Structures are given as structure tokens and as C-alpha cells.
Copies of this chain bind each other. A is one copy, B any other.
Amino acid sequence: MHPFRKFIQSYVVVSDSDWEKIEAVLLRKEYLQGEILLREGQYCQKLYFLEDGFLRYFVYKKDGEEATKFFTIAPYCFTSQRSFTSNNPSTENIQALENSIVWEMDQSAAFDLLELKSWSEFIRKLIQEVQFYTEEILLELQNKTAEDRYIKMLTESSIILQKSPLKYVASYLGIAPQSLSRIRKKFYSSRRS
């Protein structure tokens, strides 16, 4: 089964005829580690499915430093949602942190597919899930220290810690890389003792 069909079917039932319409508008792409899929200021007119690989979203802060917003682990859908939906220039950058296999479809095709009940339900559930994740990260930022959040990542998202350079994890946690080193040192020494 096509990996994207398998992914959609983890949310909704997709008939063969609906899947044929979806598959007809998909294009396969490969991105190399480090490659930028989308740059701030560009119009994001694609909906993407990450079959294999690992991505990060980041923005540039006033001082020119990069701030990592979040990570995307395959298999998952992604886009620059605000740009995609409202036809504004993107305010974020998307970078492959590993060699990645991506399926993309044009914005207009993605909108046309909303005529299909399966696709429309899939998109609703997907946005809802993304909303949950975003809200969860927000709640943690509001209520937890960087140390607590790092420990939570260790238990719940350890794959991100395995895959991502530490500087991006530090930036995601909103702290300096040196602070993350201190937290890690403290955590591992407390586990040894």
C-alpha cells in the first residue's frame, strides 16, 4: 500500500476510487540532509507528506539567530499552514535534517480534493491533531522549566533527541546550548548516583 494511503487510513476510511483521485495529484521528491524545503518569504503552495526523514521548522529572531519551532518525524503531513491557507508569504523555514522522501501536492489540488468526504474528514482530523500538539507545546512552555521539558522529551520524544543536533533541541527549548549541556550533565549524573 502507498505509504500516504496507509497514513490517511490511520485517520479515515479511504475507498479505492477516492485514493485514485488523491494519488493522481501526488509528486515524489527527495531532499538531502540540510536542504531547505521552504524559505521565509516564499509562498508555500504545496501540501507535503513526509514518507521518510526528519525536518525542523525554524524562524530567524531579531538578532539573526535561528529559533527552532518544532520538528516533524516521518510519517507525517506538513506545510507552512498559514501561508498555504491564506496565500501569504511564509514566516518560517523548513529544513530537512536527514535525507528525506516527500510526496507533495499543489494547493489547488488539495483544495479540490475537499469535495471527497474522506479527504475532507482526514484534513479536519489532521489539523485538529496539529492543534493538539501545538497547544501541548504551548502549555509546556507556559508551565514547565526547560529542564522538565527536556526530561519529557527524553521519555516521550526521544527519537528527536537521537536525530537532532543538540543546538536545535536547545533552541526548541528556548535555552542556550550551554544551558542544555548543564541540564544533560545534571540529569545523567543524578541517574548514575
Contacts and interface: CB of A to CB of B under 8 A. Distances in A.
Interface of A: 59, 61, 67, 69, 81-82, 85, 114, 120-121, 123-124, 127-128, 130-132, 134-135, 137-139, 141-143, 172, 174
Nearest to A148: B62
Ranked nearest first, the 8 interchain pairs of A and B with the lowest CB-CB distance are: A131-B131, A141-B141, A134-B134, A138-B138, A124-B124, A127-B127, A67-B143, A134-B135
Q: Work out how many copies of this chain go into the complex.
A: 2
Contacts of A121: 114, 120
B120 A124 contact: yes
Residue from A69, A123, A124, A142 whose CB has the most chain B CB atoms within 10 Å: A142
A121 B130 CA distance: 17
Residue from A82, A135, A137, A172 whose CB has the most chain B CB atoms within 10 Å: A135
Contacts of A131: 81, 127, 130-131, 134
Contact of A134 (B124, B138, B172, B174): B138
Contacts of A114: 121, 124
Nearest to A174: B142
A59 B130 contact: no
Contacts of A130: 131
17 contacts: A59-B139, A59-B143, A69-B139, A69-B142, A82-B132, A114-B124, A124-B124, A127-B127, A127-B128, A130-B131, A131-B131, A134-B138, A137-B138, A138-B138, A141-B141, A142-B172, A142-B174
